[in-house]
A = this chain, B = another copy of it.
């Protein structure tokens, strides 16, 4: 896979034009390709000396555990997303990272990351910008947990994933393949798995979306947008401020 085709380049390319040099630097970042099996954590809260990764294929989740045994998934990462950038900046991982499926990811050692920032500041800015965009997503999740009911939360979540997946060519207007179990959805949306099931049934019976056999299919996209009060503004920022 060349950098031009990599989901990461594709995502950045949707917002800025990258020079040949920058594309080749991107390609070099993809040299340390690794695979990880589903379910075994890549990184644990409290670990130091973390590497960052760029996800090439498969899905990942970032989560935190509470001592009472429950867990909260902070976000899912899809191809083209950066993993563990904050953990690198803070020197210690502040959350756990678990592959949801078999994944391929390119390890980016701190040194390479710093050198990239130095050698191609435009790429550095792009990475920072992507990180800010991810943070905006986390904020939106927080708003959902605080002020949306279960139906709205689910609708919003499915729509956000749709927008993100479209950017890397993994979704169409009709829907997308989604490898998440109802337990994972529950941990992400702050609900119980049982309630997730009921909410999905409701949305299906309302004729809005179906989520069955790992496939999300929109029946009434606009209706879903209306229900979720979904506004893509937080995803559709202008590209990074390029030096």
What residues on B are CB-neighbors of A66 within 8 Å?
Answer: 143, 147-148, 229
- Copies of this chain per assembly: 2
Bitwise interface map of A from 135 to 154 toward B, beta carbon under 8 Å scored 1, else 0: 11011111101111000000
Given A91-B238, A92-B233, 19 further pairs, Cβ under 8 A:
A46-B233, A68-B229, A70-B147, A86-B132, A89-B129, A89-B132, A90-B132, A90-B136, A91-B237, A91-B241, A95-B139, A110-B241, A135-B138, A138-B138, A138-B139, A142-B145, A145-B146, A145-B190, A146-B190
Whether B138 pairs with A142 at a CB distance below 8 angstroms is: yes
Closest partner residue, chain B, to A137 (CB atom): B94
Bitwise interface map of A from 167 to 190 toward B, beta carbon under 8 Å scored 1, else 0: 000000000000000000000011
- Is A72 close to B, CB under 8 A? yes
- Is A10 close to B, CB under 8 A? no
Bitwise interface map of A from 46 to 78 toward B, beta carbon under 8 Å scored 1, else 0: 100000000000000000101110111010000
What residues on B are CB-neighbors of A241 within 8 Å?
Answer: 89, 91, 110
Query: With A and B bound together, what is the CA distance between A128 and B140 in angstroms?
Result: 21
What residues on B are CB-neighbors of A233 within 8 Å?
Answer: 45-46, 92, 94
What residues on B are CB-neighbors of A114 within 8 Å?
Answer: 243
Contacts from A to B (Cβ < 8 Å): 45-46, 64, 66-68, 70-72, 74, 86, 89-92, 94-95, 110, 114, 128-129, 132-133, 135-136, 138-143, 145-148, 189-190, 229, 233-234, 237-238, 240-241, 243
